[in-house]
Amino acid sequence: MQRIHIVGGGLAGLTAAVTAAECRAQVTLHEAHHTLGGRARTAEGPYLTNEGPHALYRGGPHWAWLKQRGLLGPLASAPLFEGTRFLFHRDGALRRVPPLGLLRLARRRHAPVDTDFLSWATGQTDEETARAAAHYMGVALFHHDPGSLSAAFVQERLRRATALPPEARYPVGGWAQLVDRMAARAWNLGVRVETTRRVDASALAGLARTGPVIVATHLDSARTLLDDPSLTWDSGRTTLVDLAVRTRRGDPYILSDLDAPGWIERFTASDPTLAPHGEQLVQGQIPLAPGTPRAEAVRRAEHLLDLGFPGWRTRTTWRREALASGRTGAVDRPGTTWRDRPAIDRGDGILLAGDQVAAPGLLSEVSFTSGIEAAVRALELLGTAPRDTGLDLKRS
């Protein structure tokens, strides 16, 4: 009996494994790392930081899928009073309210695919407000110039990122908790999980002789593994600055930079379990243009911290910096949509899943959606009738 092989144990790979195993397919999941989760892993130790996504967006395509299977688990949202600690960096100073035109712009439901966001938004409001809206979207795009991207792509994310009540929810205890629930579901369905199992091109060819193979890795890794130079798509480049600071009354919850893309968030405001008692976990993410040194982003992050977190340097108990290049999901240029990204079905029984392939959604939703679609197509290749997932990429 043929078997479905999945290379990569991140969100996309785990979603594909669960989807296929629910239809009683034999599934093996191969993960090069000693733990599952990919960029959704949570760091070990007293400070529970994530390299990858931090929020699940309520109402997204994966929300119902996770909920139906009891995988959502406990979720945190920002306490209401923290909304008064949402600050905006504009014209060099911190302000408590964004430009009114930004909120009006965010309510528009449709924007053109073929026009860049800044040009379109300027036509809806004024250039200053349009730039502020583009910079605000650094939170969901991790890109140094969101205004240059497709208006339709950015506007959908602007609308969801500013929705009231907020869509964002946070798995309590970090994303590792969600990963563990998904992994347990896969185990219970009979998925064979092989960690510290790196698959190279020759091993992949051997796996493909026994059934469909879903490559659920970073797109750069998939390009090398499949020797397919067409597997490219634009992504962001951003510096992450993680800090643990001793608690100080009055620290902001979020500091959004409207003068340039940048975002600082105190994650323990939503989930105090992420740091020891008496400490707060803060992450800054500052997008970088190609060729710009990381030190420039660190300098900007520290300037924002100086403005919003008085005395943070003497209060810091732990610090970590990282550069995420091409690891923050797909971004669509004017004239392109998610349908133009690398196709899930590569032919000859090879399928792709991940956050830079042809699937809709915001941030981690692309990984979930593509993982489900890849599993459905793998089941079809085996002649197995897949169950209804509730997703239809042709009409999304």
What is the rounded distance in angstroms from the CA atom of residue 30 to the CA atom of residue 216? 10
Instruction: Give the model's pLDDT for residue 396.
Output: 43
Which band of pLDDT confidence, cut at 50, 70 and 90, is reported for residue 232? very high
The two three-digit tokens of residue 370, written as one number: 């593509």
The top-scoring range by mean pLDDT among 43-57, 252-266, 316-330 is 252-266
Structure confidence by residue, pLDDT tens digits, 234-285: 999 999 999 999 999 999 999 999 999 999 999 999 999 999 999 999 999 9
Which band of pLDDT confidence, cut at 50, 70 and 90, is reported for residue 59? confident
320-352: b (≥16 Cβ within 10 Å) or e? eeeebebbbbbbbebebebeebbebbbeebbbb
Average pLDDT across the chain, whole number: 93
Give CA separation, 92 vs 25, 65, 260, 261, 286, in Å.
57, 43, 10, 13, 16
Mean pLDDT to the nearest integer, 133-151:
96
What percent of the chain is helix, strand and coil (3-state, nearest 5)?
35, 20, 40
pLDDT above 90: percentage of residues in the chain: 85
Confirm or reject CATH 1.10.260.40 for domain 3-73+172-233+336-382, answering yes or no: no
Instruction: For residue 75, list its beta bridge partners.
Output: 171
CATH top-level class of 79-165+235-330: alpha beta
What is the rounded distance in angstroms from the CA atom of residue 366 to the CA atom of residue 357? 8
Instruction: Give the model's pLDDT for residue 84.
Output: 87
Which band of pLDDT confidence, cut at 50, 70 and 90, is reported for residue 79? confident
Instruction: Give the model's pLDDT for residue 230.
Output: 96
Instruction: Give the model's pLDDT for residue 1.
Output: 56
Which band of pLDDT confidence, cut at 50, 70 and 90, is reported for residue 363? confident
Residue ranges per structural domain of the chain: 3-73+172-233+336-382, 79-165+235-330
Instruction: Give the model's pLDDT for residue 327.
Output: 85
Looking at per-residue pLDDT, the higher value among 77 and 343 belongs to 343
Query: Can 3-73+172-233+336-382 and 79-165+235-330 be said to share one CATH topology?
Result: no
The 3-state DSSP class for residue 385 equals coil
Which band of pLDDT confidence, cut at 50, 70 and 90, is reported for residue 45? confident
Which band of pLDDT confidence, cut at 50, 70 and 90, is reported for residue 392? low
Which band of pLDDT confidence, cut at 50, 70 and 90, is reported for residue 395? very low
Strand order in the sheet with 26-30: 192-194, 26-30, 3-7, 213-215, 350-352, 345-347
The model's pTM is 0.94
